[in-house]
Structure 1
Amino acid sequence: MSEEKGILLQSGTNELEIVTFTIAENLFCINVLKVKEIIHPLEVTPVPESHAAIEGVTQVRGEIIPVVNLSRVMGLPEKELADTKFIITELNKMKIVFRVDEVHRIQRISWEQIEEPEKLSIGLEDLAVGLVKLEGKIILLLDYEKIIYEISGHGDFAITAREKEGGQVNRAEKVIYIAEDSQMLRQLLEDTLHEAGYQNLHFFVNGLEADEHIQKLFAEQKMKTFDNLHLLITDIEMPQMDGHHLTKKIKENEVGRNLPIVIFSSLITEDLHHKGENVGADAQVSKPDIHQLISIVDDLVL
Structure 2
Amino acid sequence: MSDYNDGILLKSGTNELEIILFELAGESYAMNVLKVREIITPIPITKIPNSHKSVEGIIYVRGEIISVVNLARILNIAHSENPENDKFIIAELNQMKIAFRVDEVKRINRISWEQIEKPNELSVGQQPYATGIIKHHSNALSIFLDIEKIVVEINPELGGTADTIKTLGPRERSTKRIIVAEDSGVLRALLKDTLTEAGYEYVTFFQNGREAWEYLESLAEEESVVNPYNQVQLLLTDIEMPQMDGHHLTYRVKQDARLKNIPVIIFSSLITDDLYHKGEEVGAVSQISKPKLVELVKEIDKYIL
* Coarse TM-score class (shorter-chain normalised): over 0.9
Q: Give SS of 1:29's match.
A: strand
RMSD: 1.8
Identity %: 49
The answer to whether residue 103 in structure 2 is matched with residue 107 in structure 1 is: no
Q: Which amino acid aligns with 2:45?
A: V
Aligned to 2:204: 202
Q: Distance in 1 between matches of 2:210 and 2:17?
A: 16
Contact 1:91–1:145 (8 Å) recurs in 2:
yes
Q: Give SS of 1:161's match.
A: helix
Deviations along 1:190-246, one digit per CA (max 9) or x if unpaired, are 111111111111000000000000001111252616221111000001000000000
Aligned to 2:222: 220
Aligned to 2:165: 161
Aligned to 1:150: 153
Aligned to 1:174: 176
Partner residue of 1:286 out of 278, 286, 289: 289
Structure 1 residues 6, 21: CA separation in 2 closer, same or farther (over 3 Å shift)?
Answer: farther
Q: Give SS of 2:156's match.
A: coil
Figure out how many residues of one structure are paired with residues of the other and give that number: 299
The answer to whether residue 21 in structure 2 is matched with residue 20 in structure 1 is: yes
Q: Distance in 2 between matches of 1:287 and 1:110?
A: 24
Q: Distance in 2 between matches of 1:94 and 1:4?
A: 19
The offset of 1:43, in angstroms, is 1.0
Structure 1 residues 223, 239: CA separation in 2 closer, same or farther (over 3 Å shift)?
Answer: farther
Q: Give SS of 2:67's match.
A: strand
Structure 1 residues 157, 223: CA separation in 2 closer, same or farther (over 3 Å shift)?
Answer: farther
Structure 1 residues 122, 26: CA separation in 2 closer, same or farther (over 3 Å shift)?
Answer: farther
Q: Give SS of 1:98's match.
A: strand
Structure 2 residue runs of 5 or longer lacking an equivalent are none
Q: Which amino acid aligns with 1:193?
A: L
The offset of 1:155, in angstroms, is 3.6
Q: Which amino acid aligns with 1:15?
A: E
Aligned to 2:248: 245
When normalised by structure 2's length, the TM-score is 0.93
What does 1:24-103 correspond to in 2, within 5 Å? 24-79=25-80, 80-103=82-105
Q: Distance in 2 between matches of 1:88 and 1:238?
A: 22
Structure 1 residues 123, 7: CA separation in 2 closer, same or farther (over 3 Å shift)?
Answer: farther
Contact 1:163–1:196 (8 Å) recurs in 2:
no
Q: Distance in 1 between matches of 2:83 and 2:166?
A: 45
Q: Distance in 1 between matches of 2:109 and 2:90?
A: 18
Q: Which amino acid aligns with 1:145?
A: E
The offset of 1:110, in angstroms, is 0.2
Q: Give SS of 1:254's match.
A: coil
Structure 1 residues 3, 295: CA separation in 2 closer, same or farther (over 3 Å shift)?
Answer: closer
